[in-house]
Amino acid sequence: MTKSSATSDWVLFIAFAAAVLTMPIWLAPFGANYPDLMQKFAIFGVFAIGFNILFGLTGYLSFGHAAFLGVGSYTAVWSFKLLTMNVLPAVLFSIVVAGLFAFLIGFISLRRSGIYFSILTLAFAQMSYNLAYSVLTPITNGETGLQLSLSDARVLDAMAGISTGRSLPSTSLFGVKMSGLPGFYFCAVVLIIGFFIALRITRSPFGTMLRGIKSNQTRMSYTGLNTRPYLIWAFVISGMYAGLAGSLLAVTDPLAGAERMQWTASGEVVLMTILGGAGTLLGPVLGAALIKYFENIFSAFNQGTLNQIFDALPDGLQNIVVEVVSLFVGDGWHLTLGLLFMITVIFLPGGIMEGMRRIGGLFTRKKPQPTSSSTTAVVDPS
Amino acid sequence: MENTVLHVADVHKSFAGLHALSDIDLSVREGETHAIIGPNGAGKSTLLNVCIGRLRPDSGQVVFDGQNLTGKQPHEINQLGVVRVFQTPEIFPELSLLENVMIPVLAKRDGAFKLSWFRRFSGENDVRLQAEDILTDLGLGSLIGSEAGSLSRGDKRRLELAMGLAQQPRLLLLDEPTAGMARHDTNATIDLLKRIKAQGMTKVIIEHDMHVVFSLADRISVLAGGRIICQGTPEEVKADPRVKEAYLGEEQV
């Protein structure tokens, strides 16, 4: 049994890695194979995977994870400004700083559970957002956002004799510029590593304890388990993933603004995770990709493109249809997202992953169900 | 007194002026099965809750094996070897039966907290075998992979018992272990508890079913109105007129 479930995990992992790395090929028919968008898929995939470790496994719903995303971005840009344009130190620092920040917020917020926990995290994130605009302006550069400039120190680069010349330098990984496709592949590799670690955590005794907390936290205490350090670690790990995602945003586009910490950004990762399927491994990545894809497609539509699409209709009808549809596209694409989300929660509470399981179930229903097979003894959510 | 394992000393607990427990003095000896009986609302469950740290007594203390349990966290009390089986099944409904039992076994082996990210839960073979043994022992062997939430009420209670036994507790606190069970299940549970008794596990058992109490208990404490009104062997308790008045009269033993 152990062998077979370990094998199926490797199959899952390799399939995932292959699918991520070949995105430029199979996304072409969807018109989504350009680097900027694929980078977003990978970055928000990382964000959602990490969020799922907290929300999917323990059931604790944080409404403040964008704060860690923002902290990650700021840290990365500072690393670019002060040390080097190499992305590795930036990524590492971001993870560490976001982790520390998450420990601080988690330590306090996890004194409560349920809605009170959610409100506490939301309050902390909004506080961070407002501080970034006010008191912390020397660090965050306020409304302008933190940007690179020609006068930055870049101590390590200077020591290595890399001069920037007259134009702003770009982020790089040992000489390879992190824009376009190379940027995507860097994010993709990070996503694959992040997925692997999440997979191991989910399958570990630690991950099972987190699922136990979601299932019946009181029982965990009476079983001799101290749930608090488990929760704090889960919170810190997911905060580190968020910081990592934030640093990747800065890697692909080296500037950081406070709007990344706003509550809408925190809400977005909640939507991604639930839409894909909370508690599953693949769900959050699918949810993140789907939302970013739709955002990209629908928000690009405007009155002109709609008129073209519905050109075949009679004039009066065309105007009406265009008026109605335009509510759902362009700036109004959030209306589409809201509808999509409502439909998912009402009809498929388990998200896309549950939908896929149901479709899979239609094909396998005929087969006899094994009643006491030990291969199914440990429920492995994939 | 010989080898007292659990000593409840002068415990008081009141809720909003209502005296749930007063002057409770109770000693449980090593290896014995000690039954606590009494009419509804006598304070039996409150007493267990005080013992496992769910409630804090207003005064007095609970001493287990020389250690004061008062004010300790529930998980600390469990780690000392005091395990409670609840009356309403407290299980992990979304997890499989095997996982439900593996978690307590792991908690006993690894302690209250352990970072174990790179081992596989399903690869913990010793833990799994131990859990499978216990589940088979309790007649749940064929359901090992099912979701615990899908069990019948009686099976949930047996699963909870399995979770308790999996930790090989030094003191097992059972809250009406046979309530809601069919007759043959009750008898099976009695047999099981007798077997555990043969292994020398100390037990405190709250029970309404006198058949169960008199087939298992070495000593009985009778609780009424938050006080212990009588304590002794089953024969002594049966003969005590105060007990008849407070409790046994209703039950027609």
A326 touches chain B (CB under 8 A): no
CB B43 within 8 A of CB B87: no
CB contact under 8 A, A215 and B116: no
A378 touches chain B (CB under 8 A): yes
Asked, for residue A15, whether it belongs to a domain, the answer is: no
- Amino acid at residue number B188: A
Asked, for residue A246, whether it belongs to a domain, the answer is: yes
The pLDDT value recorded for residue B248 is 52
What is the β-pairing status of strands A172-173 and A176-177? antiparallel
More confident residue, B208 or B252: B208
Q: Which two tokens stand for residue A250?
A: 């800065």
CB contact under 8 A, B104 and A211: no
Q: Which two tokens stand for residue B108?
A: 């006993």
Minimal-distance CA residue of chain A relative to B90: A219
Please state, in angstroms and rounded to a whole number, the distance separating the CA atoms of residues A178 and B80. 55
Q: Residues A6-29: pLDDT tens digits?
A: 889 999 999 999 999 999 888 888
CB contact under 8 A, B123 and A2: yes
CB contact under 8 A, A205 and B124: yes
Q: Which of B75, B103, B143 sits opposite A208 (nearest CB)?
A: B103
B-chain residues near A377 (CB < 8 A): 96-99, 122, 128, 144-145
Which of these, B40, B236, B173, lies nearest to A222 by C-alpha position? B173
CB contact under 8 A, B90 and A6: no
* Chosen from B64, B80, B108, B122 to mutate, greatest number of chain A CBs within 10 A: B122
Asked, for residue A365, whether it belongs to a domain, the answer is: no
Asked, for residue A310, whether it belongs to a domain, the answer is: no
B143 touches chain A (CB under 8 A): yes
Percent of all residues in chain B with a pLDDT value above 70, rounded to a whole number: 96
A-chain residues near B91 (CB < 8 A): 216, 219
- Mean pLDDT over B177-201 rounds to 82
Alpha helices in chain B (DSSP H): 44-51, 74-79, 97-110, 125-137, 153-166, 183-198, 210-216, 234-239, 241-243, 249-251
Asked, for residue A117, whether it belongs to a domain, the answer is: yes
Percent of all residues in chain B with a pLDDT value above 90, rounded to a whole number: 32
Total count of domains within chain A: 1
The pLDDT value recorded for residue A224 is 93
B126 touches chain A (CB under 8 A): no
More confident residue, A31 or A348: A348
Phi-psi domain of B187 (left: phi exceeds 0; alpha: psi -120 through 50; beta: other)? alpha
More confident residue, B45 or A378: B45
Q: Which two tokens stand for residue B87?
A: 């009356």
pLDDT band at A159 (very low <50, low <70, confident <90, very high): confident
Q: Which two tokens stand for residue B251?
A: 């039950």
Q: Residues A203-215: pLDDT tens digits?
A: 999 999 999 999 9
Which of these, B85, B81, B54, lies nearest to B156 by C-alpha position? B85
Asked, for residue A279, whether it belongs to a domain, the answer is: no
CB contact under 8 A, A208 and B117: no
**Residue A227's domain spans which residues?**
35-268
CB B218 within 8 A of CB B233: yes
A144 touches chain B (CB under 8 A): no
pLDDT band at A76 (very low <50, low <70, confident <90, very high): very high
The complex scores an ipTM of: 0.88
Phi, psi of B194 (to 5 degrees): -65, -40
Asked, for residue A20, whether it belongs to a domain, the answer is: no
Asked, for residue A225, whether it belongs to a domain, the answer is: yes
The predicted model scores a pTM of: 0.89
Q: Which of A224, A377, A380 sits opposite B144 (nearest CB)?
A: A377
CB contact under 8 A, B144 and A374: yes
Percent of all residues in chain A with a pLDDT value above 90, rounded to a whole number: 49
More confident residue, A306 or B201: B201
DSSP assignment letter at A229: H
